[in-house]
Structure 1
Amino acid sequence: MAPLLSIFLLAAVSCSAAAASPDFLQACKASRFQDSCENRLSNSNPPLYPNASASEIILSIFTASLRDLVTARSAAQSILDVSAGNPNRTTAARNCLELLPFSTRRLTAASSGDLISPDARIWAGAALLYQYDCWSALKYVNDTAQVSDAMAFLDELANRTGDGLSMLASLHRYGPDTSLWAPPQTERDGYWDPPAEMPLIDSSGGVPAGLPTNTTVCKEGGCEFSTVQAAVDAAPANITAGRFVIRIKAGVYEEIVRVPFEKTNLVFVGDGMGRTVITGNLSADEVGVTTYITATVAVTGDGFMARDLTFRNTAGPDAHQAVAFRSDSDLSVLDTVEFAGHQDTLYAHSLRQYYKSCIIAGTVDFIFGNSAAVFDDCLILVVPHLIWDHKKGDTATVTAHGRTDPAQPTGFVFRNCKLNGSDEFWDIYKKAPALHRVYLGRPWKQYSRTVFVGCYLEEFLRPEGWSPWSGDFALATLFYGEFESAGPGANATARVPWSTQIPPEHIGVYSLENFIQGNSWIPAVDCSR
């Protein structure tokens, strides 16, 4: 065993193992990996006493993960310190140093509150995502023993956090009696969470019109700020009551904007889609730039809202991954916002997000991430991809959801949306319809989940509806569903066998209340506006 890995594992596992007890080890029946869970739980530090409660077991696991996150951050810093001549490895280490504190904050929040609350599961699921993303970033620069050791430690950390998350799922489903616990299931296994009797409760919420402005950004002068980032930097931190509204007047703002974790409850209000435009052109084709970094606008402060503006990435159709907007903001609302790009336009990365009356344009996987996101009354717009090849044609995929663990309560829900193409797309499509292949989605990760409810689908959608990622990867574990699709692209009988027509009695699972608890945080607005 490599010396550095030995140090890491000693930090993670106590040498003074508690005696194996069937009482607390019953909790491992919730894990997908029961043997390794029992080993970790038997060697917990401090040891668990034999009759520990379900909550105490889960908190013990999360406490160990929080302790090991400190070690993981130190490992990432050590990689950064010796990687000055390697821009890709430097970027991966910096990504870890940004993501791992997010994991700490979300896992701390999950551990500090009511474990029965939906919040605990969404926060713990996000904590697991950030650990996975750090591991994944290092995977592409794994050319030293130091990186390899750090990945092994992160893998163990993620497995432990996943055990705790699976136990949370069992706690929510079965209650505190661990003898009833079982590994997490999804709709693909016939389990619909919450149960079928939960009603479908809709909302007319969004970003309220007429919010009082706190500060203004404009291009022509006469405002407090000339750039959006300067206004964000000057905004107060950690707002817990009310909102701080940044009015962004019409104009094209060529800048990269970052809303950090401590800038909570910020609101961007523009003068309209296409009139107020924040634009950048970063792409993953550049040395030392990852998809995560490419976002023109990236938000991590909770409670973020935006309306009446455009987020754009102009890297172009040949630039591969180029994000216009990335959100890690829990309880975020985007209302009447345009997201313009090509590949990977909208990175709905984590936590709970709501999109109302938006336009989302792109080519490949242009709505992706591992959030729990609901899209209401949105226009999903396919645009031309690469230079049109009349012999080979082209392929477009709308979504690529990235759930890595079935206990993560995440997925994409599209309700009353319309799938259409831009004028340029239609011009190309009509020349050779059979050569242009458009799909609702493909499984980026093992437990990808995406559903379309009451959506209108144009004729260019392939009859099979959904596309594999690579071979049979994830086809037995994903959940892709439709309910009452309409339009010429709605063809239930021709869909791939690994997709589902959602039974009416289960459609309430995808309401705002049930899926993202939106009834408690999405503001009500005037439906007539």
Structure 2
Amino acid sequence: MGVKKLAIASIASILLVACVVAVAISFTSKSNEDNSSNNTSNNKVDSHISTSTKSVHAICQSTDYKQTCEKSLARANNTNDPKDLIKVEFSATINDLSSVIKNSKSLIQEASKDPRTKDALHTCEGLLDVAIDDLRRSFDDINMLDLTKLQDYTDDLKTWLSAAITYQETCLDAFENTTGETGEKMKKLLKNAGELTSNGLAMVSSFGSVLKNLNLKIPGVNRRLLNTHERMLQEVNSNGLKPNVVVALDGSGQYKSVNEALRAVPQKNTQKFVIFIKAGVYNEYVEIPRKVNNVVFIGEGPTKTKITGSKNFADGTGTFKTATVGVNGDNFMAKDIGFENTAGPIKHQAVALRVSGDMAIFHNCQIDGYQDTLYVHSYRQFFRDCTISGTIDFIFGDASAVFQNCKMIVRKPMAEQACMVTAQGRKDRRGVGAIVMQNCQVLAEQDFLTAQPPIKAYLGRPWKEFSRTIIMQSSIDGFIAPEGWSVWAGNFALDTLFYAEYQNRGAGSNTNNRVNWRGYQKNIAPQVAAGFAPGPFIRADEWVKLSGVPYESGLMKV
């Protein structure tokens, strides 16, 4: 292709993608003023309709479900305004999900004989409400689109749309091991909404990739200040934190339970709300509700202040609801505290901590369990100087989660079981989720190391088709199997996953005998590894850096 044609193609690509993210580009041209008034009117109408059709086709080219895309945008009433087109896509998805919730209520009666199925339906209703909420804030962001803050908008949109996909997938996961056909019916109900959400993510994702591939920059692009969160973190960034309330088992605080203290958080809270939790074992199930934001838990030490529970899958609770502590509000922070699920390996899935809130920070925390200990469910998360223990898939989910200077400790499972440190669950190839371990230690308890016969342990396995895990600049002990990674089932996801190791050390870091899957990357370039450091990957310079938590933005010196 000639230089001139390449330049024209590049410009066309930028115009197309800019259209996708609702940059105001007009495709229409003026008609000749010399034409007769009737011809002028007809030409304008024909041109408008033709342009609208071309705009729809152009937008849908970046998606995986083109027919679904064009069908949804056919409701745009012949508009060629890109903002209107993208809003139509989001509105169609919201309406479809609302319809799924309505239709799912009719399934409750047929599911009444199976408590697990009934529980799954109730779980789905809440999860899909959150998916709708993420789509609505994406819709609102399109309305406020500012070209000078374009990268900022696309980062947020991709995070929220990825989360909307995760919530729909979590709904379907809730039907695992249920009886009857309800799960299949829900899958069919969600098919169209899932395709629409994926299409929305594809539209937004294509803009950044074109800019990156062409090495172009938009003048004046600045990160949007996360004002509320920055204010909160600036206040938190001090050694002399003044708690809003104190929790103490002995009655020396305002409250004796964490749940009582949470009820004191103001509605629509925009300021930090620090709950100081004195040393003790708090046997309660804690859930920070959606939109209860800016909550800070401060304990007296990760082994001194502990919130504990024992809900588990074997006793009839769905995995999502087994969490001892569930974080659904944004801008949550925890320091010097422990989270625990004591159900044990025999009870299978039993979550100690589930994080489903955006921009969550955990510093010097201990998270203990066995199978499915830490559910990094969705959005952006940062863990520093934390200890996480477990057996099977004990760090799992589809958040953009970065672990820095943390310890992952493998425990002894049941007989004839193997252990996997991670099970990342990215469903869509454009999703932003990944588990990133930087300067961490992968260790094992003594009971694991002395077990006979020896137990196999792996760095991870692919929970979903586009599973993504990066372990870099970390210490891996020699108990990890030489092949490094385990299959989920047969050849599932082995070609589509992305697993990478970079600059690791220790007896278990040798990659000579690692798996030879297409998706496994034995040697990634330094610039690829740097892209998964917390600064660029989760935009941590804007929120983690201000928290006072020790923090490295990029790659470390090794």
Structure-2-length-normalised TM-score: 0.80
Aligned mates of 1:47, 1:59 — CA distance in 2: 9
Letter in 1 for 2:472: V
Aligned mates of 2:72, 2:354 — CA distance in 1: 39
Assess, with a 3 A threshold, how the Cα gap between structure 1 residues 208 and 166 changes in structure 2: closer, same or farther.
Answer: farther
Assess, with a 3 A threshold, how the Cα gap between structure 1 residues 527 and 399 changes in structure 2: closer, same or farther.
Answer: closer
Q: Deviations over 1:222-249 (max 9, x none)?
A: 2111111111122113222x31000110
Assess, with a 3 A threshold, how the Cα gap between structure 1 residues 43 and 346 changes in structure 2: closer, same or farther.
Answer: closer
Aligned to 2:490, which of 471, 496, 516? 471
Q: How much does 1:86 deviate?
A: 2.9
Mapping 1:330-341, distance limit 5 Å: 330-341=358-369
1:9 match: none
1:14 match: none
1:421 match: 444
2:531 match: 509
Give the conservation status (yes or no) of the 8 Å contact 2:76–2:85.
Answer: no
Give the conservation status (yes or no) of the 8 Å contact 2:325–2:353.
Answer: yes
Matched, 1:32 2:32: no
Aligned to 2:73, which of 36, 39, 44? 44
2:541 match: 519
Greater displacement, 93-102 / 130-139: 130-139
Aligned mates of 1:476, 1:504 — CA distance in 2: 23
Unmatched segments (≥5 aa) in structure 1: 1-17, 182-204
Aligned mates of 1:526, 1:257 — CA distance in 2: 24
Aligned to 1:165, which of 184, 198, 201? 201
Q: How much does 1:83 deviate?
A: 4.0
Q: How much does 1:436 deviate?
A: 1.9
Q: How much does 1:410 deviate?
A: 1.0
1:342 match: 370
1:321 match: 349
Give the conservation status (yes or no) of the 8 Å contact 2:449–2:479.
Answer: no
Assess, with a 3 A threshold, how the Cα gap between structure 1 residues 253 and 493 changes in structure 2: closer, same or farther.
Answer: same
Aligned mates of 1:513, 1:454 — CA distance in 2: 16
Assess, with a 3 A threshold, how the Cα gap between structure 1 residues 469 and 39 changes in structure 2: closer, same or farther.
Answer: closer
1:356 match: 384
Q: Deviations over 1:320-355 (max 9, x none)?
A: 100000010100001000000000000000000000
Assess, with a 3 A threshold, how the Cα gap between structure 1 residues 47 and 207 changes in structure 2: closer, same or farther.
Answer: same
Aligned mates of 2:310, 2:69 — CA distance in 1: 45
Matched, 1:232 2:255: no
Q: How much does 1:148 deviate?
A: 4.5
Letter in 2 for 1:346: L
How many residues are aligned here? Answer: 470
Mapping 1:257-272, distance limit 5 Å: 257-272=286-301
Aligned to 2:322, which of 262, 269, 294? 294
Q: How much does 1:466 deviate?
A: 0.8
Mapping 1:82-161, distance limit 5 Å: 83-114=111-142, 116=150, 117=153, 118-138=155-175, 140-141=177-178, 143-144=180-181, 148-161=184-197
Give the conservation status (yes or no) of the 8 Å contact 2:56–2:73.
Answer: no
Aligned mates of 1:275, 1:349 — CA distance in 2: 26
State the SS of the aligned residue for 1:131. Answer: helix
Assess, with a 3 A threshold, how the Cα gap between structure 1 residues 526 and 447 changes in structure 2: closer, same or farther.
Answer: closer
Q: How much does 1:413 deviate?
A: 0.6
2:285 match: 256
Q: Deviations over 1:398-417 (max 9, x none)?
A: 00000000111110110000
State the SS of the aligned residue for 2:73. Answer: coil
Aligned mates of 1:526, 1:284 — CA distance in 2: 34
2:24 match: none
Letter in 2 for 1:510: F
Matched, 1:245 2:245: no
Greater displacement, 155-164 / 499-508: 499-508
2:219 match: none
Greater displacement, 508-517 / 496-505: 496-505
Aligned mates of 1:473, 1:141 — CA distance in 2: 22
2:336 match: 308
Give the conservation status (yes or no) of the 8 Å contact 1:321–1:344.
Answer: yes
Give the conservation status (yes or no) of the 8 Å contact 1:441–1:467.
Answer: yes
State the SS of the aligned residue for 1:361. Answer: strand
Mapping 1:310-459, distance limit 5 Å: 310-387=338-415, 394-428=417-451, 435-459=454-478
Q: How much does 1:90 deviate?
A: 1.4
Aligned mates of 1:207, 1:154 — CA distance in 2: 43
Give the conservation status (yes or no) of the 8 Å contact 1:326–1:348.
Answer: yes
Aligned mates of 1:39, 1:364 — CA distance in 2: 38
Give the conservation status (yes or no) of the 8 Å contact 1:283–1:291.
Answer: yes
Q: How much does 1:274 deviate?
A: 1.1
Letter in 1 for 2:497: L
Aligned mates of 1:148, 1:273 — CA distance in 2: 42
Aligned mates of 1:255, 1:151 — CA distance in 2: 34
2:53 match: 21
Greater displacement, 366-375 / 81-90: 81-90
Letter in 2 for 1:514: P
Unmatched segments (≥5 aa) in structure 2: 1-48, 215-233, 552-558
Give the conservation status (yes or no) of the 8 Å contact 1:207–1:305.
Answer: no
Give the conservation status (yes or no) of the 8 Å contact 1:48–1:57.
Answer: no
Aligned mates of 2:134, 2:239 — CA distance in 1: 31
Give the conservation status (yes or no) of the 8 Å contact 2:72–2:88.
Answer: no
State the SS of the aligned residue for 1:21. Answer: helix
Matched, 1:174 2:210: yes
Give the conservation status (yes or no) of the 8 Å contact 2:392–2:419.
Answer: yes
1:281 match: 310
Matched, 1:79 2:79: no
Aligned mates of 1:224, 1:368 — CA distance in 2: 36
Letter in 2 for 1:509: G
Letter in 2 for 1:25: H
Give the conservation status (yes or no) of the 8 Å contact 1:207–1:334.
Answer: no
Q: How much does 1:40 deviate?
A: 4.0
From the CA coordinates, give the structure whose radius of gyration is larger: 2
Give the conservation status (yes or no) of the 8 Å contact 1:349–1:370.
Answer: yes
Q: Deviations over 1:421-462 (max 9, x none)?
A: 12322332xx55xx3211110000000000011000001011
Q: Deviations over 1:35-76 (max 9, x none)?
A: xx23442453633536443x4433221110111222122123
Give the conservation status (yes or no) of the 8 Å contact 2:421–2:459.
Answer: yes
Q: How much does 1:80 deviate?
A: 3.1
2:242 match: 212
State the SS of the aligned residue for 2:281. Answer: strand
Letter in 2 for 1:453: M
